[in-house]
Structure 1
Amino acid sequence: MPLDRSILARPLITLAVVAASSFSSFAQQSPTPSRVRGTIEAADGDTLTVKSRSGDDVKLHMTGDIKVVGITRISLADIKVGSFVGATTVPGPDGSQDAVEVHVFPEDMRGTGEGSRPWDLRPNSTMTNATVSESVAGNDGHTLLVKYKGGEKKVVVSPDTPVVTYVAADKSELKTGAKIIAFVKQLPDGSFEANRIGVGRDGLTPPM
């Protein structure tokens, strides 16, 4: 008796549906965070308890070679032609990029992370680390042309845009109430290991 092809096809169709459903579920899972932003609630040796910006309590285990930097406010006028900066931006109405924040790297950090990449501060935000090649002052702030290897961007910086820089700091500043951004990887137990932390000075929330 010849086999009914529709009967043979049913298991394959079912398998395909299950596979597609599984792939869709995997694709919708949130990526493992590589940055934690929040306020330190407790410091116990090399472990920090942080209330993240989403309201979660996060355990951070600091590595033995942890790098701690301070983040402090500067003025828009401190951004000069030739400055190496990082700018978090979102798309502007005219094809430019509107700055959410700008941080000016000290000279010994020039070249850090040069390039442009998606960023997780806001939806559709991008981080661009580049050198300022032009700066045009206007009534509504500055327009910067920043150049990096392989590209350039026009960045609009309003007078209200936070502008900060990095300064020397150490682990003693990682105390209760300090606001931080930590660069992390997730450990098997669900906690996070941090090898670099930026801490806001004078109550500043790191804007990046």
Structure 2
Amino acid sequence: MKLKLFAIVLGMISGFAGAAQADTVRLRGTVVDLAGTTLKVKARDGKTDTITLSPDWMISGVAKASAADIKQGDFLGIASVSKADGGSGALEVVIFPAALKGTGEGDRDWDLQPNSRMTNGTVADVTEVNGRTVTLTYSNGQKKEIAIPQSTPIVKFAPAAPADLKPGMTVFVSAERGSGGKLVSRR
């Protein structure tokens, strides 16, 4: 399988888990440069951010997956928006490995686009009647049904290495804003 690396640097897991923390910053953009433990990322707004990576920083990648890969009992992270009919429509779907089940479980505001939500939960049901829909359960038995349009990107975690972080590579970095506004990414 060819890895289409959308690098998820260090704090990605904590980015889902700690999304509600006020000091957590989620950066989406492209790599400008990686020099030692300093990563420069050109964000979607055109601004270049410098992130200090902790000495034990880690990187994960994602590879293309499909709706057929989603099974009952899987743990997913789904960014979604409300639809006109009152339901939710997926913007992107991440299939977590079994070892990360429970990471960031719940439903919260997200910043992929205005009014988006992130729901991390266990697949209770997968249906395909006039489209694909999953029902996720999370936090004390709460449920959320989310439609997954055919055009929605679906990915799963894949191995990656620092050498994969080349200029132009698309990344998602979860960092904390420290003293003086400095961004630090750590687990």
TM-score bin, normalised by smaller chain: 0.7 to 0.9
After superposition, where does 1:29-48 map in structure 2 within 5 Å? Answer: 34-48=25-39
TM-score, L = length of structure 2: 0.83
Aligned mates of 2:161, 2:180 — CA distance in 1: 27
Of 64, 86, 93 in structure 1, the residue corresponding to residue 77 of structure 2 is: 86
- Residue 11 of structure 2 corresponds to none
Aligned mates of 2:73, 2:85 — CA distance in 1: 25
Larger relative CO (CA 8 A, sep 6+): 1 or 2? Answer: 2
Aligned mates of 1:96, 1:66 — CA distance in 2: 38
- Residue 44 of structure 2 corresponds to 53
Task: In structure 1, list runs of 5 or more residues that go unmatched.
Answer: 1-30, 197-208
4+ residue stretches of structure 1 with deviation over 4 A?
none
Question: Deviations 1:37-57 (Å, cap 9, x if unpaired)?
Answer: 110111111101110011001
- Residue 100 of structure 1 corresponds to 91
- Residue 68 of structure 2 corresponds to 77
Of 152, 158, 168 in structure 2, the residue corresponding to residue 161 of structure 1 is: 152
- Matched residue of 2:63: which SS? strand
- Matched residue of 1:189: which SS? helix
Of 129, 148, 169 in structure 1, the residue corresponding to residue 138 of structure 2 is: 148
Aligned mates of 2:181, 2:124 — CA distance in 1: 43
Aligned AA for 1:161?
Answer: T
Aligned mates of 2:186, 2:28 — CA distance in 1: 14
Question: Deviations 1:40-94 (Å, cap 9, x if unpaired)?
Answer: 1111111011100110010011011212111111111111111110000101122
Identity of aligned residues (%): 36
- Matched residue of 2:90: which SS? strand
Higher helix share: 1
Aligned AA for 1:85?
Answer: L
* Residue 146 to residue 122, structure 1, CA distance change in 2 (3 Å): same
Of 170, 194, 198 in structure 1, the residue corresponding to residue 185 of structure 2 is: 194
* Residue 111 to residue 33, structure 1, CA distance change in 2 (3 Å): closer
Aligned mates of 2:120, 2:37 — CA distance in 1: 30
Aligned mates of 2:129, 2:134 — CA distance in 1: 11
Task: In structure 2, list runs of 5 or more residues that go unmatched.
Answer: 1-21
Question: Deviations 1:1-60 (Å, cap 9, x if unpaired)?
Answer: xxxxxxxxxxxxxxxxxxxxxxxxxxxxxx766111110111111101110011001001
Equivalent residues of 1:49, 1:58 under 8 A apart: yes
Rg (Cα) greater in structure: 1
- Quick check: 82-91 or 170-179, which moved more? 170-179
Paired residue total: 165
Aligned AA for 1:116?
Answer: D
Aligned mates of 1:118, 1:169 — CA distance in 2: 28
